[in-house]
Amino acid sequence: MAGNPETAARAAAEAVARHAYGRLVAVLARRSGDLTAAEDALADAFETALRVWPERGAPDRPDAWLLTTARRRLIDAARRSAVRRDAVPQITRVVEELAQQSDTGGLPDERLRLMLACAHPALDPALHTPLMLQAVLGLDAARIGAAFLVSPAAMGQRLSRGKARLRKAGAVFELPASHALPERLDAVLGAIYAAYGTGWDALGIEDGPVRGLTDEAAYLAALLTRLAPESGEALGLHALIEHCEARAPARRDSEGAFVPLAEQNPALWHGHRIETAETALRRALQLGPPRRYALEAAIQSVHAERRLTGRTNWPAAAALYDALELRAPTLGGQVARASAHGEAFGAAAALSQLAGLADRSEDYQPYWAALAHWRREAGDPDGARKAYRRAAALSADPAVRQHLQDKAATL
């Protein structure tokens, strides 16, 4: 089927959606001043591409083709709207600028502008991160709703209301003044962190809808440190992602089987990314007491030391998790903290902390994986087997699921 024109056209469109959706929306929204209109125009452009490309073949630069088609949709929509007819000359002028950019190959990355606009003070803060995930990174309401434990329909309604509120507030898709940046920065950091986590969850899923998000999040985190070089949290998030990405080459063996962190070969870790992470983390710690992302990066730094020392300093990791619990308690952090305490102080310490999380962890896969490990360490094979099976059932990644099933089988 490799030579099927429809298959080739769909593959080209999906590649642009994965790698350039946010950039395209950001450019269109900045020029038109209307996020919903920008998204609608780009959606129409994708639909047109799927009709036209099978017959004519995908263009050499599909992102530029889509941008040009979307800008024409913006002009047509403005001309059809009696309410906005007076805006046609202005919209025509700014989208013509887009045409010049697409013709010359210039496609500036303006996603941070759009993310900061989505953190507009006129919006409910609870909408900031979901709106960024949809507008900038292309996640649908179902995926965002799952991340925030909200139904797809409810999340879709919230996102629509948020975009309407942005339009009513006259949100300007430009970088805010320096005094307004700090109050919006946390929301942008949260969205990048959520995007990285969402992409991480889908790493083992072939043709998953959010593949490539980890690279996008890493890029945006690095870009944000240039926008806010004195933000310890921006530097901390950059360091955290770089440390995690440094271990990517060791997460699968030669046959594609999952390799947990404790069993990874540190020689396979990416030394340059670790150095980048350590540089960012040192700078973050120089700027003041560490907050959430700097603390999480410091924990990853402890793991990275194994590359040099051959061992993990678990008491140090446990202490850092204690500090993280005080600063920014989350279920994921609490499960990881229990495991760090188990490594440092014994299985009973881990199981004691995990017991306090049971009522919130019925469908939380990391909890069951940790519980299985520490039950096994405590000499409870029956309890461990049940927990491994539950963790496997909750795993989306086939390699992780097989790893857990194999663990259960050994008991």
For 13-39, the DSSP string reads HHHHHHHHHHHHHHHHHHHHS-HHHHH
CA distances (Å), origin 110, targets 7, 220, 406:
31, 10, 46
Nearest-angstrom CA–CA distance, 40 and 192:
23
Highest mean pLDDT among 30-39, 133-142, 187-196, 265-274: 265-274
Lowest mean pLDDT segment, chosen from 150-154, 179-183, 240-244: 179-183
CA distances (Å), origin 219, targets 27, 79, 195, 230, 330:
17, 37, 12, 18, 25
CA distances (Å), origin 267, targets 12, 75, 104, 270:
36, 55, 43, 8
Tell me which amino acid residue 309 is. Answer: T
Asked whether residue 380 carries a pLDDT value surpassing 80, the answer given is yes
Residue 129 C-beta-side C-alpha neighbours within 13 Å: 18
Given CA atoms 63, 65, 68, 73 in this order, what sign does their dihedral have? negative
pTM of the model: 0.73
Asked whether residue 63 carries a pLDDT value surpassing 70, the answer given is yes
| Burial class (CB within 10 angstroms; exposed 0-12, middle 13-18, buried 19+) of 48 | middle
Nearest-angstrom CA–CA distance, 2 and 8:
7
Distance in Å from the first CA to the final CA of the chain: 44
Tell me which amino acid residue 24 is. Answer: L
Torsion-angle region of 170 (φ positive above 0: left; ψ -120 to 50: alpha; else: beta): left
More confident residue, 169 or 106: 169
What number of other Cβ atoms are within 10 A of residue 120's Cβ?
21
Confidence grade of residue 376 (pLDDT, cut at 50, 70, 90): very high
Nearest-angstrom CA–CA distance, 108 and 82:
32
User: Percent of the chain beyond pLDDT 70?
Assistant: 81
Nearest-angstrom CA–CA distance, 86 and 93:
13
Instruction: Give the pLDDT score at 109.
Output: 58
Nearest-angstrom CA–CA distance, 402 and 258:
8
Instruction: Give the pLDDT score at 291.
Output: 94
Asked whether residue 336 carries a pLDDT value surpassing 90, the answer given is yes
Nearest-angstrom CA–CA distance, 38 and 18:
17
In this predicted model, what pLDDT tens digit does every residue of 78-91 receive, in sequence order? 666 544 444 444 44
Nearest-angstrom CA–CA distance, 28 and 73:
11
More confident residue, 339 or 58: 339
Which DSSP string corresponds to 181-224? HHHHHHHHHHHHHHHHHHHHHTTTSTT-TTTTHHHHHHHHHHHH
Nearest-angstrom CA–CA distance, 42 and 27:
11
Rg of the Cα atoms in the chain: 23
Tell me which amino acid residue 56 is. Answer: R
Output DSSP code: residue 126. H
| Burial class (CB within 10 angstroms; exposed 0-12, middle 13-18, buried 19+) of 134 | buried
Instruction: Give the pLDDT score at 106.
Output: 38
Give every CB contact of residue 50 below 8 A, 6+ residues apart in sequence.
9, 10, 13
Six token digits for residue 7: 């298959």
| Among candidate residues 176, 187, 154, 302, the one with its CA nearest the CA of residue 239 | 302
